[in-house]
Amino acid sequence: MTSTAPQRMTPSEALVETLAANGVTEVFGIVGSAYMDALDIFPAAGIRFIPVAHEQGAAHMADGYARASGRHGVCIAQNGPGITNFVTAIAAAYWAHSPVVFITPETGSATMGLGGFQETEQLPIFSKITKYQGHVGNPKRMAEIAARCFDRAMLEMGPCQLNIPRDYFYGDLQATISAPMRIGRGPGDAAALDEAAALIEAAKFPVILAGGGVITSGAIAEVARLAETLHAPVCNSYLHNDSFPASHPLWVGPLGYQGSKAAMKLISQADVVLALGTRLGPFGTLPQYGMEYWPANAKIIQVDADAKVLGLVKPISIGIHGDARATATALLERLKGRELACIANKAGRKAKIEAEKAAWESELDGWTHERDPFSLEVAKDSKYMHPRQMLRELEKAMPRHAMVSTDIGNICSVSNSYLRFEQPRSMFAAMSFGNCGYAFPVACGAKFAAPDRPAIAYVGDGAWGISFNELLTCVREKLGVTVVVFNNGQWGAEKKNHVDFYSRRFQAVDLESPSWAGVAKAFGCEGVTVDRLSDVGPALQAAVKAQGEGRTTVLEMMVTRELGDPFRRDALSKPVRYLDKYKAYT
C-alpha cells in the first residue's frame, strides 16, 4: 500500500481510514458518546466493533488478539471511567510485548481542567505502561498521529495510546492516509556476529534459549536449523513454551517457575548459551526445585530486538541488537563449513539430553500429588482430584493446535510443566505483570483472531471471580472458548505463603463460591463439573468440539487444596514483631 494523496475528510474519517490502512478488522470496547461519530462509520470501513462486558476485558482481548495473530489488537472506550478501566490490561499487554493500540477519547478540549463530566488527565495514567503516547492536540493531525501509534506499536512491540479530545473527532481537514511503516531490524552488528560465531564454534556444550522474540520474528525454523547444526538442546524461556516445538528431539522444555528439570539440568552444564529473543527476565532464571541452574560461568550471547534489555538482568559476554530470525540466519551463515568443537562430543550430549528428558517425564508421571505436610494433610480425606494428575490428563487430551492462556495462581503455575506446543502463538500466559483475571479475556481475543483454533483458558477459582463477566461477550457474540476453572476453594498461591511463612494463620484465602458450572449455565454457556480423572479428557474434548458451534464451556475441575511450590520464596521472610500485642504473630 502507498500513502494516499491529501483528501478532504473529517477527523473521524481520518481515524477510521487509518485503522483500515493498518488492516484492522476488529475493535473491542464498550460503546460511548465520546467516539460515536467514528464508530458510526466502522461498518463501512469493514471494521467490526465487538462489545464486551468490561473495558478491562476489551484491552485484554486486544492483547490476546495481537498475540495470536501478530497483528495489532485495538480497543476503544468512553473518556474517563471507560479509559481508566483499561489500565490493568494495558500494563499486562506492556509486559507481554503486545502491539496493542488503545484509543482513548478524552474530555472536550474546551472544558478540560474545569472538572466536568468524566474528566481526568489520561496521558499521565498510562505514561509508564506504553511505548508511545500520541495526543491529538490539533484535529488536523489525526491521521498522522494515529498512524504513528500503529507504526510504533510494531516497532517497539508494545501498547501505544491514541488520546483524542472528544471534540476533535469533528472538523474539516485535508488528510493523507499513510501506508503502514514496518522497519526491519536486521541481524545486528557484524563484528558482534563474528565474535558470537567464534564463541559458538569453540563451545563444547552450547545450549539455545528460545524466547518470545523467536515467536514474534517467526524464527522457529532457523532455531531448529541452528540446534541441529550444533546438536544443542533448546530451552523455552519462562512462559514461552511455544517458542520451540515440543516434539523436536532437541526440545528440553521451559526454564523458570515450575519449568522442566531437564532444561534446567542441561543449561546448568552449558559453556555457551545462545539466548535468542529474550530479555532474560528476573523471574525466568530464578532457582527452582532448590536448584541454582543458571550457568554463572558460561559465556552468554544475548540477542534481542530491544537494545535496552541487553545485559540488563544477567551479565552477558556478547549483546546483539537484532531480530531473532535474522540473527539466527546470519549465525548459520557464519558457522557454515566451520569445524565445530561440539561435534566431537555430539553423541555424549545426545545421550545426556535423552536421559534428562526421560528422567523428567518419569518424575512427572510419578509426581501425582504434592508431598509437603500441608498438602498431604488437606488431600488425605478429599474425594477430589490431585491438581497434577488433572493437569496431566488435560495435557494428554489437548488438541494439537490449541491456544492456551494461563492465569496467575498456584495451579496455573504448576501447569507450566504440562503445557507443550507444536506451533508458535499458542501460549498466552499472564506475563510479568501477573494479574489475576488475565487468561479468560485473552483467550477470547485469541479466538476472535484465530477462530479455527481451539482456545482454552486455565483459571483458578479466585481469578475466575475477577473475570467471568466476559461470559456475556461469549454468549452475545457466539464465541466458543473453553474455560478450565481449577476449583480448589481458595486463593491458593497466597495461602501457600500463609503456610510457609505465617504459621498457617489463614486470612481471607478460603473461597466460598457458587457452582461455577451452574453460573455458566445461567449465562447460557455449557457448564460441567468434573471430579473424576477419567472424565477430564473427554470433558475437554467435548468442550473443544462445542467451540466449533460457537458455544463456550466452563469445565469446573474439583481439585484438592494441596499446593505446589510458591512463586516468591525469594521475596518473603519470616515475620519479626517487636510490640507485645503482636508477639504471638511470628
Q: Out of Mg ion, ligand TPP, none, which partner does residue 494 contact, by CB within 5 to 8 A per kind? A: ligand TPP
How many residues touch ligand TPP (CB under 6 A)? 19
Q: How far is the CB of 436 from ligand TPP (least distance, A)?
A: 4
In the list 213, 233, 284, 462, the residue contacting ligand TPP (rule: CB under 6 A) is 462
For 213-316, where are the E strands, in sequence order? 234-236, 251-254, 272-276, 299-304
Alpha carbons 65 and 71: distance in angstroms, whole number: 8
Q: How far is the CB of 52 from ligand TPP (least distance, A)?
A: 18
Q: Out of Mg ion, ligand TPP, none, which partner does residue 410 contact, by CB within 5 to 8 A per kind? A: ligand TPP
Q: How far is the CB of 495 from ligand TPP (least distance, A)?
A: 7
Nearest to 237 by CA among 294, 285, 304: 285
Q: Out of ligand TPP, Mg ion, none, which partner does residue 493 contact, by CB within 5 to 8 A per kind? A: ligand TPP
Alpha carbons 181 and 178: distance in angstroms, whole number: 8
Q: How far is the CB of 494 from ligand TPP (least distance, A)?
A: 5
Give the largest CA-CA distance in the chain: 77
Q: Name the 3-class secondary structure at 14.
A: helix
Stretch that binds ligand TPP, among 16-24, 140-148, 363-371, 455-463 (CB under 6 A): 455-463
437 binds ligand TPP (CB under 6 A): yes
Q: How far is the CB of 429 from ligand TPP (least distance, A)?
A: 13
In the list 167, 242, 323, 461, the residue contacting Mg ion (rule: CB under 5 A) is 461
493 binds ligand TPP (CB under 6 A): yes
405 binds ligand TPP (CB under 6 A): no
CA distances to 502, 504, 508, 585, 586 from 581, in Å: 16, 19, 21, 9, 12
302 binds ligand TPP (CB under 6 A): no
408 binds ligand TPP (CB under 6 A): yes
Residues 6+ positions from 267 with CB-CB distance below 8 Å: 207, 209, 233, 235, 255, 273, 293, 294, 295
Alpha carbons 451 and 463: distance in angstroms, whole number: 25
- Grid cell 471471580 in the structure block, residue: 465
Q: How far apart are the first and last CA of the chain?
A: 66
Alpha helices in 11-86 (DSSP H): 11-21, 36-39, 55-69, 81-84
460 binds Mg ion (CB under 5 A): yes
In the list 71, 434, 523, 546, the residue contacting ligand TPP (rule: CB under 6 A) is 434
Q: Which of residues 152-181 bind ligand TPP (CB under 6 A)?
A: none
467 binds ligand TPP (CB under 6 A): no
Alpha carbons 290 and 544: distance in angstroms, whole number: 37
490 binds ligand TPP (CB under 6 A): yes
- 484-515 as b/e, with b when 16 or more CB fall inside 10 Å? bbbbbbbbbbbbbbbbbebeeeeeebebeeee
Q: Which residues bind ligand TPP (CB under 6 A)?
A: 408-411, 434-437, 460-463, 486, 488, 490-494
User: Which residues are near Mg ion by CB under 5 A?
Assistant: 460-462, 488, 490, 492
